[in-house]
Structure 1
């Protein structure tokens, strides 16, 4: 195969063509990118000496990464701040995790395989695509070769995805894509739809919901068909979550792009301050929150961090109740007595969730409670709840101001 771009009309089965091309390239021990393109998306399959390094579907790269790593390695907390560039940042994090002995090569390869399976499935949903081979002159390293998949490892995954694609088509889902997000029609109570209800808000793709419910994406989508036909639910495109280089977090030292007090960053859904003396808990919260598209302000010494709180004015504060150098109750009371944080939602983080602890926290001004270790779903649900309340209060304030202006004009 020459190093010139090789293009083929994908009038045949997309996955079959990808498999054929990969087989040829792997036999030739080729290094480069197999670019699968259509009018909707462009995926990339990276090869090194005929072995699969990583795969991307052209959209929802961060969503896919977060979804699969949290499912397969929920205790692993990658550190993207150590990476130098955004090229194949997911593979860099896997490499970093192995180097730091946080994950094994077997675990990292399991993540690569799971991501590749989803990518193959998504690419298989697109017809009339092209495939283009782009040669690369990179020299393989021993580590990179060990953290890659041979065609013998990849071939069963492709066969599995082909079977899933057939199920998808037989179920009459040919015109749908699992990267779409279902949205419930306004005025309908989500609780009336049982377990599905809380996910029908346009924030979770069909892939996301399938993982959260522990069901296949085909079965999840089939269950929604009656609701789609009745127009109770509709599917819409949803943006990807920001990758680590698109939205660096703010730390307590003020580095990493801190914002001016009261400012709202473009595309930012909320700045969440996390106050805890445990680096592990802070990293866990950071992974959960940034995975959902929020910025974080990490503070491990609460009294010294007050200045940073005032400077950045977070939308929500998550506060640990038990810390060696400061009582969370005292910190909460102090913040409530400060005019800047008088109305800021404060969620207390505690492993001692008793009635006495709750009442005491309420007395010093806590808004809500979160258990330790923080559960991702419960954490995001609380954040969304209070951000929605803040948005509603803002709209009410704007309406009141508009009324005052109109009255003055009269």
Structure 2
């Protein structure tokens, strides 16, 4: 095992960071098998898996689940990857010999069952590795170590990533990222609109509506680029004028919940966490209930707004999803009333809205809302929001 620390003077850092990638030629010449692990002072860790000098796969970083999910979702025959299906698939996937990577095991199981083509697996692997390499290059100070392991046998030969092409692409992306002044912007951050009126005055109504729907702080720049079928450089550059003006800001967004392990166990004297959904649409409550129950939580659906407050006070859920617009009441009134009670003073309240206007968000937060989620909601985003706010909650 070897350790190296790479640190450059501040004035040269953004020019010299691509030199970190020179290690690939060394590992290629030495037929290295094992793991190349980078880390930074913030505690992030990126791992690349090698076999005889060639890259097989990578994992880790700021959003290891997100970076895999967005690539797999766009290349699997069935794009709707539900959290429960993924967990069930992972539970039966055979473990590889030394690649400590649940997503690699899962994809190879799909490959063996004919659910994923070799080309799709290579594309997913290449894009995941590309994201990792860009993040490593962008990180100011990194340390790496090499963990040697036996080469894979002939019976388990993997599909390799086209490393030379990938290194060239990452280097070109980083150079362009610098050229247009994006060095300070991480593609792992999520854009959210702070001042909508100046933006409304500059774009068409259709573009404005799309921006308000998409820029809700729940999707990273990479997530948005994948969703829109755009290059992350072009997307970030398009938002750059609004970022500089302060009309849009970039915020940290949590990773999706892990698939390769259950939630921390609940002691025998503790009850499962209870999640409530107040929405006049039975379909919304049913869909959310399926996701939440499958993840091991108790679920409380409330489809009559007039009964929301007495029901919530009686049932005492640990988190509340609250629809903003209902026939007989609205989320503002319910949220404000709940915050006036001692029981719901600190309970997370997540507002649901199909409008997604900033005025609604600001008003909801002023009345005590914890978070704001746009409709329609992806199952894995629902779980991500739950775990974001309940990660330390145990009764």
TM-score (normalised: structure 1): 0.61
Structure-2 separation of matches of 1:194 and 1:29: 53
Pair 103,143 (structure 1): closer, same or farther in 2 beyond 3 Å = farther
Structure-2 separation of matches of 1:158 and 1:143: 28
**SS of match in other structure, 1:183:** strand
- Listed one character per residue, the Cα deviations across residues 48-74 of structure 1 (whole Å, up to 9, x for unaligned) are 222212113521000111111111225
**Are residue 60 (structure 1) and residue 69 (structure 2) matched?**
no
The equivalent residue for 1:147 is 159
In structure 1, the gaps of 5 or more residues are 249-255, 276-284, 299-310, 318-334, 345-382, 404-410
The CA deviation at 1:316 is 5.5
Structure-1 separation of matches of 2:234 and 2:189: 15
Query: Which of the numbers 27, 30, 53 marks the counterpart of 1:28?
Result: 30
TM-score (normalised: structure 2): 0.63
Residues 168, 174 of structure 1: 8 Å contact kept: yes
Residues 181, 205 of structure 1: 8 Å contact kept: yes
The equivalent residue for 1:371 is none
Structure-2 separation of matches of 1:269 and 1:244: 23
**SS of match in other structure, 1:314:** strand
Structure-1 separation of matches of 2:49 and 2:108: 15
Residues 188, 220 of structure 2: 8 Å contact kept: yes
The CA deviation at 1:27 is 2.1
**SS of match in other structure, 2:160:** coil
The CA deviation at 1:146 is 2.7
The CA deviation at 1:226 is 2.0
Structure-1 separation of matches of 2:342 and 2:32: 65
Greater Cα offset, 388-397 or 37-46: 388-397
Structure-2 separation of matches of 1:241 and 1:64: 10
**Are residue 80 (structure 1) and residue 90 (structure 2) matched?**
yes
Residues 56, 158 of structure 2: 8 Å contact kept: no
**Are residue 44 (structure 1) and residue 54 (structure 2) matched?**
no
Greater Cα offset, 186-195 or 92-101: 186-195
5 Å-filtered alignment, 1:171-320, equals 171-185=180-194, 193-247=208-262, 263-264=272-273, 295-297=292-294, 313-315=298-300
Equivalent residues, number: 303
The equivalent residue for 1:322 is none
Structure-2 separation of matches of 1:127 and 1:30: 26
Structure-1 separation of matches of 2:70 and 2:172: 22
Structure-1 separation of matches of 2:227 and 2:110: 25
Structure-1 separation of matches of 2:244 and 2:120: 41
Pair 396,384 (structure 1): closer, same or farther in 2 beyond 3 Å = closer
Q: Whose RCO is larger (CA < 8 A, sep 6+)?
A: 2
The CA deviation at 1:194 is 3.9
The CA deviation at 1:25 is 0.9
In structure 2, the gaps of 5 or more residues are 313-319, 344-395
Pair 58,104 (structure 1): closer, same or farther in 2 beyond 3 Å = same
**SS of match in other structure, 2:133:** helix
**SS of match in other structure, 2:217:** coil
**SS of match in other structure, 2:144:** strand
Structure-1 separation of matches of 2:26 and 2:188: 30
**SS of match in other structure, 1:146:** coil
**SS of match in other structure, 1:43:** strand
Residues 51, 145 of structure 1: 8 Å contact kept: no
Structure-2 separation of matches of 1:269 and 1:36: 41
The equivalent residue for 2:2 is 4
Residues 218, 253 of structure 2: 8 Å contact kept: yes
Structure-1 separation of matches of 2:66 and 2:178: 24
The equivalent residue for 2:357 is none
